[in-house]
Structures are given as C-alpha cells and as structure tokens.
Structure 1
Amino acid sequence: MIENLLVCASTKAQGYFYRTSGGAEIDLLLSWPDGSLWAIEIKRSLSPKLERGFHAACADLAPTRKFVVYPGAERYRLAADIEAISLEDMATELVAATS
C-alpha cells in the first residue's frame, strides 16, 4: 500500500518512515518541495484508532495534513485535523497535490 501511495506522489514528494526511540511513529511521512509534511498512517480496521505514537510523532513534526488510510469507503474526520480516507481517495489527493 505504501508503494502505491509513493507512486501517486510521483517524484514531487520524498517518502519516509518515521520512528523515534520513544515510540513516536508515522507509517509514511511525505515531505513536499514547499517544506510541508503529510503524515499518513495505514490501518487495516474498518474502525481505525490511532495510537499514542502517531500523536507523539505529529507533535514532534507538526505536519500540515494528517491522514489515516483504512479499507473503508467513507471519508470522515477522526479529529479536527486528522482525516480517515480510503486508499483510492488518498491516491486521488496525492495525484492532485502533484499537479
């Protein structure tokens, strides 16, 4: 799944896995040429829940956008600044960001 998202991001964004020794973790961190960061967490559950590590990593890095990619079809907010999104919709977001 991460490879698919990286292809959609084209060569415009650099992709990273982020983890600290303290347990802060982001499955895919995209760094865009304008300096903005997107945090993308991958979940298998239809009811995705975020772990403390994701929140800690976001507090460290202050990404401009935060997504949780999950196998459902609905797009909805998990929090004011975190969006649950399908793989297809995430791919569309990435392609739009590279246009």
Structure 2
Amino acid sequence: MVLSPETLGSDALVVAQRIRSAAEGLALPLDSGEPVRVTLSAGVATYPISACDEASLLRAADQALYAAKRAGKNRVVSADAIQAATPLSA
C-alpha cells in the first residue's frame, strides 16, 4: 500500500505505473540460480473522488486491484475508471 497525500489521481496512476514497471524489470534469483520474473498489479483510489471515508477508500482500491488482475495481471487500474464505467442503478 502506498499512501500519497495531496496527490491527484492522475499523478497517483503515474506513480503506480512506475512501480509496476520497476517490478516488471526485476529478475530475482531462486536458490537454483535461475531467475524468476516479477509482475505487479495495482489498484489506485483517490479521496474524495473514489470514496469519502477510510473504509470505502480501501475497498475501492481493493476492487481496482482485483479488476487489474482480472484484466490480465501486471496492470494498474483506477477505481475512478471503474466507477465511471459502472452504470447507476435505478
């Protein structure tokens, strides 16, 4: 979890993409000496756009994380984008 106060959602997405990209470039050696590649999925949520309290903000970030994994892993998804794509119920 990365907390970044006073950060715009677009800037938070850039930071998350940089972290994801850095992780993607890692090759960690196993005991056998063979490298294992690392990937990372992330969900980004912003206050007060994604949620208006701590519990809702964490839930929104978690939902975005799982959306990233469902989309094929090694991705960053914004909770705001999920909310914008979800139709309002009547």
Where is the strand percentage greater, Structure 1 or Structure 2? 1
Superposed pair shares fold, TM > 0.5 = no
Bigger Rg, structure 1 or 2: 2
Higher helix fraction: Structure 1 or Structure 2? Answer: 2
- TM-score under structure 1 length normalisation: 0.27
